[in-house]
Amino acid sequence: MRFTNSPERYSFISILLHWSVALLTIGLFILGLWMVDLGYYDDWYYQAPWWHKGLGFIVLILVLFRWLWNIFSAKPDAIASTPVWQQWAAKAAHQSMNITVVVLAVTGYLIVTAKGQPLSIFDWFAIPAVSTLTVEASEWVSKLHLWSAYLIITLASLHALAALKHHFINNDATLRRMLNL
């Protein structure tokens, strides 16, 4: 088990960060779609947003840590058979997904604090509201949050399809490197 990336493979830390962010993001998307339809008397009416906010904050921290990790940890070399345009597209997709996580976190924060209430993270600590939002601004931010969630799931789906294409059609090590096989 390697803790630093090598020219051929990703490290345990890189793989853990990748899959943690991926699985939590998918879970948050499903939870978010499900919780907006809960009624006041549903058992999960308060629990679902509590989990959504806390896990969303964790994803933000993981993405920020991954950015730092990538600064100090050299990435594996590109696979020689991968065209340059695909390497560029992969980098653009990764950065777009990371930026979208930040947009989701900021818009989520603005939604929760729209009325001046702090954002509580798992009842461990609270992030104070910096301002309040008008109803119109709150609706706009909510739409941006929703469409950003759809965007990240779309990008992640394309990313997964590209990885599967590399694995099954190109027969290269792209997916195996992220699975550490």
Q: Is residue 49 part of a domain?
A: yes
CATH number of the domain to which 108 belongs: 1.20.950.20
Give CA–CA dist 130/117, Å, rounded. 9
Q: pLDDT (tens digit, 9 = 90+) per residue, 107-150?
A: 999 999 999 999 999 999 999 999 899 999 999 999 999 999 99
* Percent of the chain predicted with pLDDT > 90: 80
Q: Is residue 114 part of a domain?
A: yes
Give CA–CA dist 35/49, Å, rounded. 7
What is the mean predicted confidence (pLDDT) over 1-23? 89
Q: Is residue 143 part of a domain?
A: yes
Q: Is residue 5 part of a domain?
A: no
Q: pLDDT (tens digit, 9 = 90+) per residue, 74-108?
A: 888 888 899 999 999 999 999 999 999 999 999 99
Give CA–CA dist 103/66, Å, rounded. 16
